[in-house]
Amino acid sequence: MKILKTALAVTLAATVFALPAAAQEIQERTIRFGHLNNTDHPMSMGARKFAELVGAKSGGKLKVQEFPSNQLGNEMQQQSALQGGVQEMTAPAPTSLAGIVKEFGLLDFPFTVTSFKQADELLDGPLGKALLAKLPEKGLVGLTFFDLGFRNVTNSRRPITKAEDLQGVKLRVIPNPVFLDTFRTFGANPVPMPFAELYGALESKAVDGQENPFSVILSNKFFEVQKYLSATNHVYAANIILVSKKFWDRLSPAEQKILQDSAIEARDYQRKVSREMAGKALSELKAKGMEINELAPAEVAKMRQMVKPIHDKFANEYDPALVKTFRSELERVQKL
């Protein structure tokens, strides 16, 4: 009995001694998570799910505070804030990262994937991992990709039923060379512009149109200043969940694991919600008076052929190893 009591005392002492060490692995921290979308957008819902998961996994010690609707600045400003270590997290489109890691432009190649399944396989597989691996040297850590959806063109001039209909249309695009060349190929006049300035530019007719997923078009009330919505599905878009490397490096391995695991769980939830909402958004946009049209398969095939030189041009400027991965992965996922 004495031996048993002694063993029990030793076990209890070891447990008590171990608790402070374990607790110290997770400290009280506030994580500012900024993004450009409104609170009714699937990106915001994913951010809130992420915050909920992080809070639960950390016993409430890690608190994620969401700042939607450009409250912390536009995408480029928030990206710079992460690199400087003055903001912890953001979620830009990969297009915004092409300025510091140009190979992210591969994700903007038009008319590549045609389904969500293909898109997920591409982003969650070797290509997505290889792209994320290029970020730490730029002061950023990428956790995963949230769904933004297929991009579609809206404008105030006419329906876009074929490439020629884009002739002369002044179209706001993300400041990304692949997007600029793509719409120049179709005869449009692409205008790079921060998202925060877009509604005003559409309202004043400084630009004729823009291109974004259905949920973004609805959430930002573009139906108030745009009449025509053409389901071009020209590019699949995602949001990349970024963490400041300066902040990441201050985290313990346990804290880093909580953020990474929570991001993956939130991603699966966010993708489901986002895709359900995209279908509902299209119906709502129609109900709000937008004229909606789809492109005939023959016209899509024609546009795909027109942009092949863009694929080749930019592929020649990128890391050959990553381009090889991109092409082999694209060949694999397009069979799905």
Q: Which CATH number fits domain 27-111+118-333: 3.40.190.170, 2.60.40.1180, 3.40.50.720, 3.40.640.10?
A: 3.40.190.170
Give me the percent of the chain exceeding a pLDDT of 70. 93
Backbone angles phi, psi at 126, to 5 degrees: -55, -35
Cα distances from 222 to residues 91, 177, 197, 206, 216, in angstroms, run 21, 24, 12, 14, 8
Stated pTM of the model: 0.85
**How many angstroms separate the CA atoms of 224 and 204, rounded?**
12
Banded model confidence at residue 115, pLDDT cuts 50, 70, 90: very high
What's the whole-number mean pLDDT along residues 4-29?
54
Number of Cβ within 10 Å of residue 42's Cβ equals 28
Read off the pLDDT of residues 50-89 as tens digits, 9 standing for 90 and up: 999 999 999 999 999 999 999 999 899 999 999 999 999 9
Cα distances from 177 to residues 19, 30, 107, 256, 317, in angstroms, run 53, 36, 12, 34, 12
Q: Do residues 175 and 248 touch, judged by C-beta distance below 8 A?
A: no
Structure tokens at 77: 């400003």
Domain parsing of the chain, residue ranges? 27-111+118-333
Read off the pLDDT of residues 182-236 as tens digits, 9 standing for 90 and up: 999 999 999 999 888 999 999 999 999 999 999 889 989 999 999 999 999 999 9
